Amino acid sequence: MDKIKLSKMEFEGHTGCLDFEKKDGQKFIVSLELFMDRIKGCYTDDLSDTVDYSKIYEITKEVVTEDKGDLIECLAQKISDAVLKADSRIAKVIVSVSKPDAPVKGIFETMEVTIVRRRKEFVILSLGSNLGDREANINAAEEALKALPGIEGFKQASIYETEPVGLEDQPYFLNTCVGFYTDIEPFELLDKIHVIENELLRTREVHWGPRTIDIDIIFYGDEVIMKPELTIPHPRWYLRSFVTVPLRELKDVGQDHPDDKEVSLYRKRG
């Protein structure tokens, strides 16, 4: 990726927890790193083929000068939201907000927070359970996913009862798909999914065997990842009707369901 950096922009703002900070204001220093796919302007020498720095500057200035919140962490988030909204070609932004006159007793150069945010992508996960209270397992997993910071627009497909794949001598599964928008990085999302599975006491004794909960990333926007620990899109999603049937409630995948196993509606959402 190419990077454009706007360094150490100074603005007067009123973000702070104390009354005098909101009343009198103080200096804030903001730096931005904007990441884009190969910048077309490198070849065309045309302003319309790159980010308009002056526009980004003015947007950042407006956010800082108008903010009345308490935390520079929240201010940094507001800046990242505004910058990503301003130009769809910006895939990721790193925002640093510095408060050199922070009301802290001691010797320091500045107090600074840095956040990394990417453009939100629509992610689809597959959930399955065939041990214990299957529906409760799925509901608990969904609630845990909804509670993750950076998740919005959460959608749930219907729950289906499905014939097991691979090891057939085991209880039928309940399966569903969920979709949401997020800026959580794919590998970070995978780590969070593993935490949720562990918290729900995931049990899986054998490959393809019974489990309390199983959560797989099927799609992450249009990204393609091929690593030993994570493959996106999921390499077998289109071969499994327990994925494709609920999936089509969330995304038009433009193909028929495979006739691999029996799938029946368990209950209708809402």
- Give the model confidence (pLDDT) of 15-55 as tens digits: 999 999 999 999 999 999 999 989 999 999 999 999 999 99
The pLDDT assigned to 210 comes to: 67
Among candidate residues 50, 84, 118, the one where a domain is terminated: 118
- The residue segments making up the domain with residue 33 are 2-118
The pLDDT assigned to 267 comes to: 73
Same domain, 103 and 139: no
- Looking at the 3D structure of the chain, how many domains does it have? 2
Same domain, 205 and 108: no
**H-helix or E-strand spanning residue 144:** helix 134-146
Residue 37, domain CATH: 3.30.1130.10
Same domain, 176 and 201: yes
Residue stretches of the chain with pLDDT short of 70: 165-169, 202-210, 254-262, 268-270
Among candidate residues 84, 118, 152, the one where a domain is terminated: 118
- Alpha carbon distance 183, 233 (integer Å): 17
**Active-site residues: which are they?**
99
Longest CA–CA separation in the chain, Å: 71
The pLDDT assigned to 268 comes to: 67
The tens digit of pLDDT for each residue in 238-264 reads: 788 889 999 999 988 766 666 556 678
Among candidate residues 118, 149, 178, the one where a domain is terminated: 118
Same domain, 127 and 99: no
Same domain, 164 and 223: yes
- Alpha carbon distance 188, 193 (integer Å): 9
Same domain, 107 and 177: no
Crossing angle of helices 72-86 and 53-66, in 10° steps, is: 150
How far, CA to CA in Å, does 62 sit from each of 38, 78, 116, 157, 185?
A: 28, 11, 20, 40, 28
Same domain, 129 and 99: no
**H-helix or E-strand spanning residue 206:** none
C-beta separation of 80 from 68 below 8 A? no
The pLDDT assigned to 145 comes to: 97
The pLDDT assigned to 107 comes to: 93
